[in-house]
């Protein structure tokens, strides 16, 4: 058995270049974690804004699920659906970071 010497065979870091659907899913998990932390911080205040955030969160999850189901019925790939979820998560991160 000979040792590998080429750089192409080395395990790459997680990249989001569209070539690996698992990388997009891993990125979604990490980005979602950030939003969860931001939301928990907001919900911990237990004020009117926290109540509004909880309501918004539930409505957004229902809307995103219905959107994903419609996309699946229309023939969208899993990668397309994950990318769309990532767009929702990014929008939430921007909104929560500025609040």
pTM above 0.75? no
Average pLDDT over residues 46-73: 94
Region 46-53 average pLDDT: 92
pLDDT at 8 over 70: no
Q: Which residue has the higher pLDDT, 21 or 70?
A: 70
Count of all residues that appear for the chain in the document: 99
Q: Which of 98, 96, 92 is nearest to 28 (CA)?
A: 92
- Give the mean model confidence (pLDDT) for residues 44-52: 92
- In the prediction, which pLDDT does 40 show? 94
Asked whether 57 and 68 are in contact (CB, 8 A), the reply is: no
């Amino acid at each position: 058995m000979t040792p590998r010497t080429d750089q192409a065979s080395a395990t790459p870091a997680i990249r989001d270049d569209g070539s690996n659907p698992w990388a997009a899913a891993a990125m979604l998990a990490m980005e979602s974690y950030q939003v969860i932390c931001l939301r928990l911080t907001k919900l911990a205040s237990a004020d009117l804004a926290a109540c509004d955030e909880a309501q918004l969160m539930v409505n957004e999850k229902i809307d995103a699920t219905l959107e994903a189901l419609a996309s699946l019925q229309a023939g969208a790939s899993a990668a397309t659906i994950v990318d769309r979820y990532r767009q929702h998560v990014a929008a939430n991160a921007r909104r929560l970071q500025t609040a």
